[in-house]
Structure 1
């Protein structure tokens, strides 16, 4: 895959059918560039981990959080058994509750995971150069190609929600259940799209807070201002320009 040119305007959106089926959907998106792995994020992780601990202590279990309950209802609506296929934030919270911390992988992944457990909503981080743009969250046709972290190729079921690019590559399975290894952040990643999606009753109030928290952390750690937006059915498109290396 060739890297996008510096003048390219890239687009991310959700298919209109998703907005119709899930009118409660509130996506937050950020575009960040100039990344590298040689940073310290202990302060930021500690802050978000403390927030997650407080919420778990108050709720007693991640399954009692309204954000998680909303995603369970969405999975059921899509014909998925919610305790078999959990959204990414629920899986992270379960591990965090049992082990007291999450494994360190890469500073940006670690930050995304910490924000995810603090706000109890899924946060996906995609390497911009590993996507054939535009990228849309839509129902899969069944022919899309998904690369697991093991390197094996899978095909989403027809009707399954995925992040699908112009080349027919699926960058997620079962919407927010599992991200693809193909576009996952790696040491050489320099530019990303960060997507968070919420469905709970106060998502419209909570998502801007999440986006701002991520922006502030990116500024603190990497020293740049991310472009961001909270999408709606009326304004469903996020357009951004890539930066040259």
Structure 2
């Protein structure tokens, strides 16, 4: 299984982080994690009284990229901004399970959209591309979502993820044992910083969910990786 960037994205200096998790156990989040995430949200709420959502560095950079790609950032907000806006209204995230809870925590912490997918629900190679009029799927938000001018990931069966909203088809559950996490990192970050971020996230994720992890970074100079190289 290859994971690649479509050639048409070369002009955007994208940095797509990938973490492959193997032999994980997804369950109810430990109380320590629930407490840490709740406290983090409460602190964010207080911070956003001084620095509004759209002025936060990561959120602002992704809004700008969103517009450059051709989508309206006010109509189609990337997932990190959507999470931030909830918290700014004290509509705090409720625990779901250990994989989703940490995925949301990373998205808030790093201010970038992140998706996590069940490897066993994916087929064939995976590509990150830009959506057109025909790109759509049923999302976790309960709606059928159009992804025109929005980045998305697809496999042999079709689109399954994006920095906007992920699909139901590839959702991680408590039965998931292998997962693929995709970080839509900030283009302004150095490759070294991106790799350090991925390593830190992978370490925390496996401390909670067990298993092991391997990371990769897709850029204009490295547009393809083979997931089989991740698997020992």
TM range (shorter): 0.7 to 0.9
Give the TM-score taking structure 2 as reference length: 0.84
1:87 matched to 2:78: yes
Shift of 1:183: 0.8
Instruction: Report the secondary structure of 2:10's partner residue.
Output: helix
Shift of 1:41: 3.5
Which stretch has the larger CA shift, 130-139 or 146-155?
A: 146-155
1:165 matched to 2:155: yes
Question: How many aligned positions are there?
Answer: 229
Gap regions ≥5 residues in structure 1: 1-9
Give the TM-score taking structure 1 as reference length: 0.80
Deviations along 1:37-65, whole A, 9 cap, x unmatched?
A: 33544434555665666566276222111
**Matched residue, 2:170:** 183
**Matched residue, 2:68:** 77
Change (3 A) 1:103 1:47: closer
Deviations along 1:1-34, whole A, 9 cap, x unmatched?
A: xxxxxxxxx22121121122x11x2221100122
Distance in 2 separating the partners of 1:179 and 1:192: 14
Gap regions ≥5 residues in structure 2: none
**Matched residue, 2:24:** 35
Shift of 1:127: 1.1
**Matched residue, 2:216:** 229
Distance in 1 separating the partners of 2:35 and 2:5: 33
